[in-house]
Amino acid sequence: MNKIIPLLFLFVYYNPLISQQIPDWENPKIIQQNKELAHATFIPFGSVKSALYKDKKESVYYQSLNGSRKFNWVKKPSDRPLDFFKDSYNVENWKNIPVPSNWEIQGYGIPIYVNIPYEWTKKPNPPIIRT
């Protein structure tokens, strides 16, 4: 009986501490679980000497995609212009967006931080998941 009382006390004390832990999927501090290792970007050069001493932007094979691009955001895919991909399509009325960028940060749509939508709400509150 004397051994059960300390165990019972430990269980009663420890149980609320465990229940206060944040699940991994809601913890923004967990960013490296099952994550691929970082890797380098490779830019070809004409010679070993130029690869060692030149800036990657000086390579004839380097092309930056940074800049300003035309952007048209619609709420539903069915609202998109159907022939926007044609060379003859007029995009003069489209807004400009900086690249690289994120369209949610530029004020379009709702910011979501995963590759699928939050189906349960129109106003997501990451990382909290409604149950």
| Residue 38: inside a domain | no
Q: Which residues of 50-80 are buried (b: 16+ CB within 10 A; e: fewer)?
A: eeeeeeeeeeeeeeeeeeeeebeeeeeeeee
CA–CA distance, 79 with 62 (Å, rounded to integer): 37
- The total number of structural domains that make up the chain: 1
Global model pTM greater than 0.75: no
| Residue 125: inside a domain | yes
CA–CA distance, 63 with 99 (Å, rounded to integer): 14
| Residue 129: inside a domain | yes
| Residue 124: inside a domain | yes
| Residue 49: inside a domain | no
Rounded to an integer, what is the distance from CA 11 to the centroid of its chain? 40
DSSP 89-101: ---TTSEEEEES-
- Residue 34 CB-density burial (10 A; 0-12 exposed, 13-18 middle, 19+ buried): exposed
Provide the residue-wise pLDDT of the chain in tens; the chain has 131 residues.
677 776 666 666 655 556 667 888 788 788 778 888 877 778 888 888 888 888 888 888 888 999 999 999 999 999 999 999 999 999 999 999 999 888 888 888 877 666 666 565 667 676 676 66
Q: Give the residue carrying structure tokens 């944040």.
A: 22
| Residue 11: inside a domain | no
Range of the domain at 112: 66-131
| Residue 94: inside a domain | yes
